Structure 1
Amino acid sequence: MQVRHLSLANYRNYAHAELVFAPGMNMLVGRNGQGKTNVAEALMYLATLRSHRISQDAALIKAGEDSAIVRCRLAQGEREALLELQLNRGSANKALINRHSVKTRELTQLISAVLFAPEDLMIVRGEPATRRSFLDDALISRHPVAAGAIADYEKILRQRNTMLRDFKHTGRSANSIDTLLDVWDEQLVEMGSQIIRHRRMLIEDLRDPLIQGYFSLVDQDHQPTIALMESVQETLGVSRETSGVVDVGASVSRETIAEEFRDALRLVRGRELERGQTLVGPHRDDAVLQLKSLPVKGYASHGETWSYVLSLKLALASVLSTDTVEGDPVLILDDVFAELDLGRRERLYAAVSGYEQVIVTTAVEGDVPQGHEWHTIRIEAGEVVAIEPVVTQETPDQSSDTDE
C-alpha cells in the first residue's frame, strides 16, 4: 500500500497543500512548528478516524474556517482509490471514496497506516486509557469493522452511566433500575465481548513480532512482553494471583467471554449503583508491558522505553502486513530518529526499509540515516516549498560523531 498524493485544505496550518509521495523512503523536512506532524496526523486520521494529539476535531480545522479537507490518492497493487474527508466545525464529517459518498468509517477499510510519534511514549508512561487507545486503534487498523463495535460500546456505556448516576441522585426503586439495567447489560455485553475477544487475539499475535522487533533495534534479548489485564477476570477472581492478567494464548469463544462479562456485571451491580458508574468491561482494562520481567514503566531506561514502543509499533506493522492482501501498511515515523543514537538509527532504518512505503519527518536532515535514497519534501510555514524525487543523502564524516 502506498500514498501517491495528499491534498490538504484548511487543515491545521495549511491553507492549501499538495504533497506527492514515492514508493520506499520519504522524508518531510522542516523546522519545528512548520507543519510536518500535521501531515502525519492527517494520514493517520484517514486510517483511524482519530488524531493522536487531540480528542476534538475542531482543532484540526484552520482558524477562521468552517471545514477542512483531507484528500488522498492511494495505490494498492494495480488499483488506485481516492479517499476524501471533510471535517466540519458545526456538523457531522463527510467522506467520499472515488467521488461516492460513504460513511466515514468506510475510509478505514481502504487505508492502513502505523504511526510512531514522541507522544507514543505515553503508551508506557501514561494512564491505562492511553494503552486502551493504542489497542483500539490497532483493532481498527486490523479489523476496520471494529470501529463500529468500539463506537457502539462507548455510546452504550455513556447511556448506562447516565442511568446509574440518575439512580444515585434520585433514589428510584432498586427493582425498577434492575429491569432497565438488564436490558443495557445485554447491549454492553454484546459489543464489549467483541472488543475483548479481538484484543486478546491482537495481543497473542503481537507477542513474537514484539520480541523480534526489539532484538532488531537493540541486538539484545531483554524479553519484551505484552499481556492483557481484564477487569472482568479480576472481578470474577479467575486470575486472582495475577490481578486479572489473562492468558490470551488459550482459545476462548465469544460466548464464553460474554457469559463471564454478564457474571461480572451481576457481581458489581450493587457497587455500581452506589458509585453511579460502570465498573467492569473493556473500558476498564489495561495492557501489561514488561522488559526483563519488570514493568517498562518505572524500571526501563529512557532508551529502553523508546526501543520498546518502537518495537511495539513494528510488531503491529508486521501483524497488519501478514493479515492483509492489500500489502504493507504505510509506516509513518514522526520526529523519531533525532531521539536515537547512531547505531539505533541504522538498525531502525534496516527494520523499516523493506516496507512498501515509509514516511519520515525530521527537523534536521542529518538526523536521518545517511547514504540512502530519500524522496524529500520540504515544508515551511504550512507550505510545500520543494519536492526532490529520490535524493541520496550524503554520508557525513563519522569521525566527529558520538554514539550516545
Structure 2
Amino acid sequence: MFVRQLSLRDFRSWPELDLELKAEPTILVGRNGFGKTNVLEALYYLTNLRSHRVSADAALVGAGADSARIGATVHNEGRELAVEITVMPSGANKVALNSNPVRRHREIVGVLRSVMFAPEDLLLIRGEPADRRRFVDELVVGIGPAAVAAKADYDRVLRQRAALLKTAGSAMRRGGADAESVISTLDVWDSQLAALGAQVTAHRITVVNAAAPHFATAYASIAPHSRPAAIGYRSAVGGEVVDSGGDPRPVEEIEQILLDALAQARSKEIDRGVCLVGPHRDDLEIRLGDQPAKGYASHGESWSLALALRLATVELARADGVEPVIMLDDVFAELDARRREHLAAFTTDAEQLLITAAVPEDLPSGISGRRLSVEMREEPVGESVVRRSLVSADDKMDGDGRGE
C-alpha cells in the first residue's frame, strides 16, 4: 500500500500542495513550524477520520478559508482508490470515494492504513488514560468500518446521556412527573450505552490481545537488557468482561455487565452529573516487569515502550496482510543513537516511508530517498499577516544526509 498522489487545499498552513509520490522514502526537511507535520496529519486524517493533534476540525482550516480539502490516490492491493475529504470548520464534513459522495464517512476506513511515530507518543506512557484510549481506538480502525461505527455511535449516545445527567439532579429534586421523565429517559440511554459500549469494549480487548505479543517482542528487541514489558486492556467495570483465557466475553454478556454497573452507579451519576460507567473510562495497562510503566519507567524506557507500541501497530497491520504507510514525524531528534538505528532498521523494508526532520543531521546514517525542502512565506491577509507553507526544492538525499 502506498499513496501515489496527495493534494491539499487550505489545510492548515498549506494553501495548495500537489505531490506525486512513489513507493519509496520521502523526507520533508524544514525548520520547526514550517508545516511539515501538517502533511503527515492530513494522511493520518484520511486513515482515522480525525486529527492526532486537535479534537476540533476548525483548526485544520487555513486562515481566511471556508473549508479545507484533503485528497489522495492510494494504491491498495493492486487497485487505485481516490479519496477526498472536505473538512468544514463546523458542521458535517463531505467525503467522496472515486469521485462519488459517501454518506457514511466510515465507508472510506481501510482505503489508507498508516502508522505515525511522533514525539507525542511519549504521552502513551506518561500521559492520561484518554491518550492511551485514543491509541487503542487507532488499532480498532484496522478491524473495519463496523467497529468504527460502533465507537462513533457510542460517543454520540455518551454525549446525549451526559447532557441529560447535567440536568437530572434538579429534576429529581423537583420530583413528580419531572423525576419520572428523567428515570424513563435514562433507562433508554442506559440500554443504548450498554449495547454500544459492549461492542466497543469487545473490539478493544480483541485488538489489544492481538497486539500484545508484537509489543513484547518489539520492546525486547529495542531494550534487550530491560525488564519484560506487557500490555493489557483494563476495563473500569472490572475483569468480568474477559473470560478465563483473557478473550472478550460475548457482547451480550458484556452488555449485561455494563447495565448492572450503570444501575449501581445511577444515584452517583445523577448527583455528580457525569457518566461514570462505560469504555470511555477504560485504560490500556502498560507494565514493565511487575510495575506499571507510568511513574516507574525511566525516560529511556518510556521511549522504548512508546516505540514498541507503534512497532506493534505496524506488525498488527502486516498480520492482516497490509503493509501500512509508515510516517516518522521528527521522531529521530527525540531518540538516542541506539533507538534511532533500531527504528531506521525496522523501517528499511517499508513500502512507503514518509519522514520529517528539522535538519538532515537529525536523520541516522543510511536514511536516503527523495528530499522535499519545506519553506514558509508570509502574506498579508486583510490587516494581518498569514504564514503559508510551500515546497521550495525537490531532490534526492543519499545515506549521509547530502543532496545529490
CA contact (8 A) 1:10 1:61 kept: yes
Kindly provide the amino acid, as one letter, of the partner of residue 131 in structure 1.
Answer: R
* Partner residue, 1:164: 165
* CA distance in 2 between partners of 1:394 and 1:119 (Å): 27
Does residue 1:272 correspond to 2:269, yes or no? yes
Q: CA separation of 1:109/1:145 partners in 2, compared to 1, >3 Å: closer, same or farther? A: farther
Q: Determine which of 188, 210, 213 is the counterpart of 1:208.
A: 213
* CA distance in 1 between partners of 2:52 and 2:157 (Å): 24
* CA distance in 1 between partners of 2:244 and 2:360 (Å): 44
For normalisation by structure 1, the TM-score amounts to: 0.90
* Partner residue, 2:223: 218
Summarize deviations over 1:152-190 as a string: whole Å, max 9, x none: 111111111222222202224454433322221111111
Local SS of the residue matching 1:73:
strand
* Partner residue, 1:369: 364
Local SS of the residue matching 2:237:
helix
CA contact (8 A) 2:26 2:369 kept: yes
CA contact (8 A) 2:118 2:328 kept: yes
Summarize deviations over 1:202-241 as a string: whole Å, max 9, x none: 111111100111123233352111122212227xxx5xxx
Does residue 1:290 correspond to 2:287, yes or no? yes
User: Percent of aligned pairs with the same residue?
Assistant: 41
For normalisation by structure 2, the TM-score amounts to: 0.90
* CA distance in 1 between partners of 2:235 and 2:266 (Å): 17
How many residue pairs are counted as aligned between the two chains?
Answer: 385
* Partner residue, 1:355: 350
Kindly state the Cα deviation for residue 48 of structure 1 after the two structures are TM-superposed: 0.6
CA contact (8 A) 1:47 1:141 kept: no
CA contact (8 A) 2:360 2:401 kept: no
* CA distance in 1 between partners of 2:281 and 2:326 (Å): 30
CA contact (8 A) 2:288 2:297 kept: yes
Local SS of the residue matching 1:145:
helix
Gaps of 5+ in 1: 239-243, 397-404
**Which stretch has the larger CA shift, 110-119 or 158-167?**
158-167
Local SS of the residue matching 2:22:
coil
* CA distance in 2 between partners of 1:90 and 1:99 (Å): 23
* CA distance in 2 between partners of 1:124 and 1:66 (Å): 37
Kindly state the Cα deviation for residue 276 of structure 1 after the two structures are TM-superposed: 2.0
Q: CA separation of 1:17/1:247 partners in 2, compared to 1, >3 Å: closer, same or farther? A: farther
**Which stretch has the larger CA shift, 43-52 or 163-172?**
163-172
* Partner residue, 1:401: none
Q: Determine which of 383, 386, 391 is the counterpart of 1:384.
A: 391
Q: Map 1:55-204; keep pairs closer than 5 Å.
A: 55-103=55-103, 104-171=105-172, 172-173=175-176, 174-204=179-209
**Which stretch has the larger CA shift, 101-110 or 11-20?**
101-110
Summarize deviations over 1:285-319 as a string: whole Å, max 9, x none: 11111112222211111121111111101101111
**Which stretch has the larger CA shift, 104-113 or 74-83?**
104-113
Kindly provide the amino acid, as one letter, of the partner of residue 21 in structure 2.
Answer: F
Kindly state the Cα deviation for residue 248 of structure 1 after the two structures are TM-superposed: 6.9
* CA distance in 2 between partners of 1:50 and 1:246 (Å): 33
* CA distance in 2 between partners of 1:176 and 1:80 (Å): 53
* CA distance in 2 between partners of 1:319 and 1:48 (Å): 16
Q: CA separation of 1:102/1:251 partners in 2, compared to 1, >3 Å: closer, same or farther? A: closer
* CA distance in 2 between partners of 1:4 and 1:78 (Å): 12
Local SS of the residue matching 1:205:
helix
* CA distance in 1 between partners of 2:245 and 2:401 (Å): 46
Kindly provide the amino acid, as one letter, of the partner of residue 88 in structure 2.
Answer: N
* CA distance in 2 between partners of 1:184 and 1:263 (Å): 14
* CA distance in 2 between partners of 1:212 and 1:357 (Å): 23
* Partner residue, 2:5: 5
Q: Determine which of 371, 394, 404 is the counterpart of 2:400.
A: 394
CA RMSD of aligned residues (A): 2.0
Kindly state the Cα deviation for residue 98 of structure 1 after the two structures are TM-superposed: 1.0
* Partner residue, 1:344: 339
CA contact (8 A) 1:142 1:320 kept: no
Q: CA separation of 1:83/1:349 partners in 2, compared to 1, >3 Å: closer, same or farther? A: same
Kindly state the Cα deviation for residue 265 of structure 1 after the two structures are TM-superposed: 1.2
Kindly state the Cα deviation for residue 90 of structure 1 after the two structures are TM-superposed: 4.3
* Partner residue, 1:241: none
Q: CA separation of 1:188/1:341 partners in 2, compared to 1, >3 Å: closer, same or farther? A: same
* Partner residue, 2:313: 316
Kindly state the Cα deviation for residue 247 of structure 1 after the two structures are TM-superposed: 7.0
CA contact (8 A) 2:205 2:247 kept: no
CA contact (8 A) 2:206 2:247 kept: no
